Structure 1
Amino acid sequence: MQTQAISNSAHNNVRQFPAPKQEGRNLTDQLGFTIEGVIDKDVMTAKAFPRDVRQCIKNIELTIAMSPEVSASCYYTLPRAGKTITGPSIRLAEICSSFWGNMQSGTRVISNNGKSVVVEGWCLDLETNAKVSHEISRGIVTKDGKPYSTDMQNTTIAAASAIAFRNVIFKTIPKVFIDQALQKAMALSVAASNQEDFEKKRQNMFENLERLGIHVEKVFAFFGKSSIQEFDLEHMKMIYGIRTSIKEGMIKADEAFALSESRSDMVNSLIDDH
Structure 2
Amino acid sequence: MTNEVVDFTSQKASEQVQEKKTSQTEMLVERQAQEVQVAMIAAKRFPRNQVTAYNNILTACQRVKLAETSMYEFPRGKEIVTGPSIRLAEAIAQNWGNIDFGWMELEQRNGVSQVMAYAWDLETNSRQTKMFSVPHIRHTRKGDYVLTDPRDIYEAVANQAARRVRSCILGIIPGDVVDGAINQCNKTLREGYEMPLVDRVRMMVRAFEKEFSVNLEMIEKYIGCKSEAFTANSFVRLKKVYASLRDGVAKREDYFEIALPQDEKEISDPFKDGKDVKADVAK
- Aligned-pair distance for 1:170? 0.7
Aligned to 2:214: 214
Bigger Cα displacement from structure 2, 162-171 vs 140-149: 140-149
The CA deviation at 1:84 is 0.8
- CA 1:127–1:232: 2 relative to 1, 3 Å: same
What does residue 46 of structure 2 align with?
49
Q: Any idea what SS the aligned residue of 2:137 has?
A: coil
**Per-residue deviation, 1:222:** 2.4
Change (3 A) 1:116 1:189: farther
Paired residues for 1:201-240 under 5 Å:
201-212=200-211, 213-225=213-225, 227-240=226-239
* Displacement after TM superposition at 1:126 (Å): 1.2
Aligned to 2:158: 158
Give 1:34 deviation, angstroms. Answer: 6.3
Q: Structure 1 residue 66 and structure 2 residue 63: aligned? A: yes
Please give the alpha-carbon distance, in whole angstroms, between the structure 1 residues aligned to 2:215 and 2:49: 46
One-letter amino acid matched to 2:147: Y
Runs of 5+ unmatched residues, structure 1: 1-19, 28-32, 261-274
Deviations 1:136-181, CA, capped at 9 Å, x for gaps: 4444335655422323322110101211211111111112211110
CA drift at 1:190 = 2.7
**Cα distance in structure 1, aligned partners of 2:174 and 2:233:** 27
**Map of 2:74 onto structure 1:** 78
Supply the distance in 2 between the matched residues of 1:40 and 1:193 (Cα, whole angstroms): 44
Contact 1:114-1:140 at 8 Å conserved across structures = no
- TM-superposed deviation, 1:90: 0.8
Number of aligned residue pairs: give it.
232
SS in 2 for 1:128: coil
* Change beyond 3 A, Cα 1:79–1:140: same
Is it true that 1:99 corresponds to 2:95 in the alignment?
A: yes
TM-score, normalising length: structure 2: 0.71
CA-atom RMSD in angstroms: 3.0
The residue aligned with 2:190 is 190
Q: 1:35 deviation in Å?
A: 5.4
Name the residue aligned to 1:249: 248
Conserved in 1, the CA contact under 8 Å of 2:70 and 2:88?
A: yes
Larger Rg: 2
Report the TM-score, using the length of structure 1 for normalisation: 0.73
C-alpha spacing 1:200/1:145, structure 2 compared with 1 (3 Å): closer
Question: Which residue of 121, 126, 151 corresponds with 1:125?
Answer: 121
Checking the alignment, whether the CA contact within 8 Å between 1:242 and 1:256 is kept in structure 2 is no
Unaligned runs of 5+ in 2: 1-21, 259-283
**Deviation per CA, 1:87-109, whole angstroms, max 9, x where unpaired?**
00011012112111112122123
